[in-house]
Chains A and B, each alone.
Chain A
Amino acid sequence: MNTRTDHLVNGVDLSIDFAGIKSPNPFWLASAPPTDKAYNVERAYRAGWGGVVWKTLGEDPPAVNVSSRYSAHFGKNREVLGFNNIELITDRSLAINLEEIARVKRDWPDRALIVSIMVPCEEAAWQHILPLVEATGADGIELNLGCPHGMPERGMGAAVGQNPDLIEQVARWCKQYYSKPVIVKLTPNITDIRVAAQAALRGGADAVSLINTINSITSIDLDNMVAKPTVGQQSTHGGYCGSAVKPIALNMVAEIARDAPTRDLPISGIGGISDWRDAAEFVALGAGSVQVCTAAMLHGFRIVEEMKDGLSRWMAEQGYRSLDEFSGKAVANTTDWKHLDMNFKTIAHIDQDKCISCGRCYIACEDTSHQSIAQLIDASGARRYEVIEEECVGCNLCQITCPVQDCISMLPQQTGKPYMSWDQDPRNPFRQAS
């Protein structure tokens, strides 16, 4: 059996070297149920995934899971916007996992195999497990310092990840007892992600990955007055993931990528990545690899084909021959509010040929924004919507509410004025004299 997967897709080299871990493409499966055992992982490799992060190993005896584990935040057509789980780390013994990891790595040498680990925050525990993991031949480890449900009650997971000192300490132990790359997985359930990333860096981590899941309750069963997923007559908060968390993840990735201390720290992007475009966006903000879980759980491993194909075609169109050529390209354009150009002005324009006259832009602007769209009704009753340009502040609301793609565009205006930040703006009462 040819177990290799091609680096070159549509003439583009998708291979990466992430903090020393080589992978034929940037698409990894995140530590989660899809990477729980050899059977799944081999199916994933066969489907073309570049790497997997093996579901988190722990000390024996293994964790025990409850029945009923997932719930979702649905859109109106049952599309899953967000996904929630209360599953713990692996519920299989350490020995079985280690044996399978060693075998899978041997059989699939060209793929990245990273092992996720969570043990108590004691040096001895890490000192014990790390050599066992090293012996499997896996390419690296990812520290699960982010699991938000169940494990923190036992002093692990997010209980560690929410304490910068502990992050640094654990990272340091790992670098001490393990020779290959160490990735620290960060929890978003904190106020400033940069503090956690800096702690990982201080501890010697080779990379960070983020985000882990967000504390969540997806919905309440109003008939039985209990949250979902239900276990008997009760429930508990879980960890939220899926498309809905992508904007949160992108921001946290950007925060780390543009923070001076961690600017060069490799980032594995995680959070709601469902298609090639999502992946490209994470890479544009500096991610060197991307991890996927929910999309695979909803559609199966086959989605990686579309991701590779879409990403490589887009790259070829843009003239990018490898991921390095556009990695981090959007970081410099992501800045603090105070650096935005106060003299920039954009206003909405409605393409009358595309407009279907639904009136959504009108009522949104009229009720909740700046009353800058006019509703004109002619003698035949035909409706026409026009932007009142002098009133438009360029907020984008009309464009967002418009159901027709490319019907409303935001047109930058020639103001003839130079760039002026808030710091330079005479309207700023705290303006710094330049």
Chain B
Amino acid sequence: MKHDLTHLPRAGDTVAGRPGTSPEALEANFSDLHPPLNPRQAMIESQRCLYCYDAPCVEACPSDIDIPRFIRQISEDNIDGAAHTILEQNILGGSCARVCPTEILCEQRCVRNHDAECQPVLIGLLQRYATDHARFDGHPFQRAADSGYQVAVVGAGPAGLACAHRLAMLGHRVTVFEAEAKPGGLNEYGIARYKMTDDFARKEVEFLLEIGGIEMRYGQRLGHDLSLAQLHSDYDSVFLGLGLGASRQLGLTGEDAPGLAAAVDYIKILRQSDDLAQLPLARRCVVIGAGNTAIDMATQMARLGADEVTLVYRRGVEAMSATGHEQEIAKANGVRMLTWATPREVLLDAEGRVSGMRFERTHATEGQLQGTGETFEVEADAIFKAIGQGFDGDSLSDPAASELARDGERIRVDDAFRTSLPRVYAGGDCVAPGQDLTVQAVQHGKLAAHAIHQDLLAKQEAA
């Protein structure tokens, strides 16, 4: 962890005679947030699907899954077929079933939302049912004949993995370079623990790699261990599926004080922990931000046993990027939402550790955020910032990478995910288009693989 939380008690510690959170409670608090459907529930729910024509749910799915078809296959007790329908468009369909904000995607568009109906079909849970219960005899997709081309994929997150799998299907040889020790990206390190249980991220990658033709290299960080210039010369094509590892700064003094940390760093530790009772616990904590990471951080701290978790956002609830569903999860876990307040000062105790934060109340006039001058303080043992992510400073610093055209910070790509450098493609959180969603990253990776394939074929024909 970049920031020091070692002075805090651990979740399982007895503090001032008060017992910590019991192992049983921790187990329960971090098990599946939405329990999976059992076979009977899946059968009943699949019956609710109206098998719409030109279904709105499909239009809403960033990865183009034929939802009515896979649900009908579930209803016909063809679970392998249903899973195949999902995975042929989205090889990470299992994790998307768990982490997709379906309430703003497929399920939001379900015709069963009409006021004459009851509630949308539980598409996410049905997708999970199909992908969890499929029993394929071997990997369900085959590699095309070897093309002889070698493609480098940087980043083993959803975009990179989806790209690698599709490239392998198309017959190319793929080498995936991953900075961390494990594959999966945010699925492994960044998603709330209760959304991705039972080591699912690892199992899913194992399944994906069964197709063959994909070599994984871990501990390979762009800008440190490898350069885009080198990859560009060594491989026929390069796909950049970089994550946004660096947390944005608040820009306040005291930002390095013990007790102030980036939410993503803490979540990463939490996701990898074998013993949640050993995690540092801030009994009173403040989370700054309004996205799903802020919600995940606040909710997980509450579930670890915090007494007071306050999520602070400088604008109103309606402007939060976390969905209403996510906000409800936080509220249900006792997280206090404090809006229209912006951090002004990190408050420190005599030892220089975080003791709270001073905020200024804000308001918006004609969309412009302004301070009101009125301030207040919130006591806290720790402050977690979740105000957005950027590239690690060095990752795009080599001569080739620094030439990449950008849209703001993100890498500029065309509609086939080509960057400004020939033979270099990019997708996922590191590019400008789309929302920062797992399912979006999968789609980018998949479409980029097809673009790479097309461009390689075109080159071959031209030669």
Contacts and interface: CB of A to CB of B under 8 A. Distances in A.
Contacts of B117: 356
Given A76-B75, A381-B59, A360 B52 contact: yes
Nearest to A377: B54
Nearest to A366: B53
B47 A357 contact: no
A365 to B, nearest CB: 10
A276 interface: no
Interface stretch (B108-116, B160-168, B173-181, B343-351): B108-116
Interface in B51-66: 51-56, 59
A272 B116 CA distance: 30
B437 interface: no
B56 A77 contact: no
B405 interface: no
A157 B75 CA distance: 40
B1 interface: no
Contacts of A375: 54
Given A76-B43, A77-B44, A359 B52 contact: yes
Given A356-B112, A356-B116, A404-B116, A363 B47 contact: no
Contacts of B59: 381
Interface in A124-143: none
Contacts of A363: 53-54
Contact of A77 (B47, B114, B116): B47
Contacts of B43: 76-77
Contacts of B46: 76
B50 interface: yes
A383 B112 CA distance: 14
Contacts of B55: 359
Nearest to A402: B50
Contacts of A383: 54, 56
What's the interface size class on A, roughly?
10 to 19
A356 B54 contact: no
A360 B51 contact: yes
B47 A76 contact: yes
A363 B68 CA distance: 14
What's the interface size class on B, roughly?
10 to 19
A357 B44 contact: no
Interface in A399-422: 403-404
Majority-rule SS of A interface residues: loop
Contact of B53 (A354, A359, A403, A404): A359
Contact of B52 (A76, A77, A358, A404): A358
A433 B47 CA distance: 55
A418 B163 CA distance: 69
B53 A362 contact: yes
Given A77-B43, A381-B59, A403-B50, A358 B116 contact: no
Contacts of A356: 50, 111-112, 114, 116-117
Interface in B164-202: none
Interface string B113-151: 010110000000000000000000000000000000000
A357 B55 CA distance: 9
B116 to A, nearest CB: 6
Contacts of B50: 356, 358, 360, 403
Interface string A347-361: 000000010111110
Contacts of A77: 43-44, 47
A360 B47 contact: no
A96 to B, nearest CB: 43
Nearest to B112: A356
B75 A358 contact: no
Contacts of A358: 50, 52-53, 111
Nearest to B59: A381
Contacts of A354: 116
A159 B175 CA distance: 76
Contacts of B47: 76-77
A360 B47 CA distance: 15
Contacts of B75: 76
Contacts of B114: 356-357
A368 to B, nearest CB: 12
A76 B53 CA distance: 20
Contact of A359 (B54, B112, B116): B54
Contacts of B44: 77
A153 B112 CA distance: 53
B113 to A, nearest CB: 8
Contacts of A381: 56, 59
B116 A357 contact: no
A356 B53 CA distance: 12
A142 to B, nearest CB: 39
Contacts of A404: 116
Nearest to B117: A356
Interface in A47-83: 76-77
Central interface residue in B53, B56, B114, by most chain A CB within 10 Å: B53
Nearest to A355: B114
A312 to B, nearest CB: 30
Interface in A376-408: 381, 383, 403-404
Nearest to B113: A356
B49 to A, nearest CB: 10
B111 A357 contact: yes
B379 to A, nearest CB: 47
A378 to B, nearest CB: 13
Central interface residue in A358, A359, A363, A404, by most chain B CB within 10 Å: A358
A76 B54 CA distance: 23
A74 to B, nearest CB: 11
Nearest to A367: B53
A363 B75 CA distance: 21
A363 B114 CA distance: 20
A403 B116 CA distance: 11
Which 4 A-B pairs have CB atoms at the shortest separation, nearest pair first? A359-B53, A363-B53, A356-B114, A356-B111
Given A76-B47, A359-B54, A360-B51, 20 more contacts: A76-B43, A77-B43, A356-B50, A356-B111, A356-B112, A356-B114, A357-B52, A357-B111, A358-B52, A358-B53, A359-B52, A359-B55, A360-B50, A360-B53, A362-B53, A363-B54, A381-B56, A381-B59, A383-B54, A383-B56
27 contacts: A76-B43, A76-B46, A76-B47, A76-B75, A77-B43, A77-B44, A77-B47, A354-B116, A356-B114, A356-B116, A356-B117, A357-B56, A357-B114, A358-B50, A358-B52, A358-B53, A359-B52, A359-B53, A359-B55, A360-B50, A360-B51, A362-B53, A363-B54, A381-B56, A381-B59, A403-B50, A404-B116
Interface of A: 76-77, 354, 356-360, 362-363, 375, 381, 383, 403-404
